[in-house]
Amino acid sequence: MLNFLRKLRLKEMNGKYFKYAIGEIFLVVLGILIAVSINNWNENQKKKKQLDTIYAIID
The predicted pLDDT at position 28 comes to 97
Could you write out the three-class secondary structure of 1-59? CHHHHHHHHHHHCCCHHHHHHHHHHHHHHHHHHHHHHHHHHHHHHHHHHHHHHHHHHHC
Q: What is the pLDDT of residue 18?
A: 74
Q: Which residues in the chain show pLDDT less than 70?
A: 1-2, 4-5, 7-15
pLDDT of residue 19: 81
What is the reported pLDDT for 11? 63
- Measured in whole angstroms, how far is the alpha carbon of residue 21 from the centre of its chain? 15
Q: What pTM value is reported for the model?
A: 0.65
Q: Which pLDDT score is estimated for 10?
A: 62
